[in-house]
Homo-oligomer: A and B are copies of this chain.
Amino acid sequence: MKALFKTAGRAYKAHHALPPDAGTIADVNHDNVVKTISPDWVDGETKVMESPADHGQDLRLWLRLLTCSTLIESEIRRRLREQFDCTLPRFDLMAQLERAKAGMVLGELSKRMMVSPGNITALVERLVESGHVTRTVSAADRRVQIIALTSFGRAEFEKMATAHADWIAKLFDVITARDGKILFDRLGKLKRSVVTALARD
């Protein structure tokens, strides 16, 4: 595949730090940061706690959630880049295609990946260039493009998917099955809460 791009992953990243999940965002990566933290934080948190309806609890939960997913996501991006010279969006796109034997329409890819159509255009273009996918104009409807994995693309993806599953398993190593179940369950509730709130518009 020979270096399609110079960089692309985000090795750092983990925005959002509003009331900073007490000592936890910072202490995760830079030991020397912690000492500078305590006094400000108390203020920040106190302030938040005083707002109506206990927003503080929700905010802290949100920040911790974000910290977790960013931490994991960054690591996966880094490994995909270092070990496979691949980005997460490329991996995701191939993951979608893997289960669509007959290929998938560009718009469908966009919907499933929850990214804008214009984004997919360029992403697919690069994947075509590197020989991972093909793009065919549909005979039935000439507006439509069908994207499918090449056998090379499929082979590459299998390698990455195996490694990926392994990385996740190792990262989640210490979590007991029971806690995993609880998390999964409560995150489901959270998702429903968010979706419900979003629907109220």
Report which A residues bind B (CB closer than 8 A).
Answer: 10-18, 20, 24-26, 28-30, 33, 36, 40-41, 43-44, 48, 51, 53-55, 57-62, 64-75, 88-89, 92, 95-96, 99-100, 108, 110-116, 119, 161-162, 164-166, 168-175, 177, 179-184, 186-198
Contacts and interface: CB of A to CB of B under 8 A. Distances in A.
A180 B58 contact: yes
Q: How many copies of the chain does the oligomer comprise?
A: 2
A80 B41 CA distance: 24
A189 B165 contact: no
A191 B16 contact: no
Contact of A95 (B17, B33, B100): B17
Given A61-B184, A186-B183, A191-B71, A114 B168 contact: no
A183 B184 CA distance: 9
14 contacts: A15-B92, A16-B95, A18-B95, A28-B195, A43-B99, A53-B169, A62-B172, A64-B184, A64-B191, A65-B183, A71-B198, A170-B197, A174-B192, A183-B186
A165 B195 contact: no
B57 A89 contact: no
B187 A174 contact: no
Given A183-B187, A187-B183, A194 B171 contact: yes
Given A64-B188, A68-B187, A191-B71, A113 B15 contact: yes
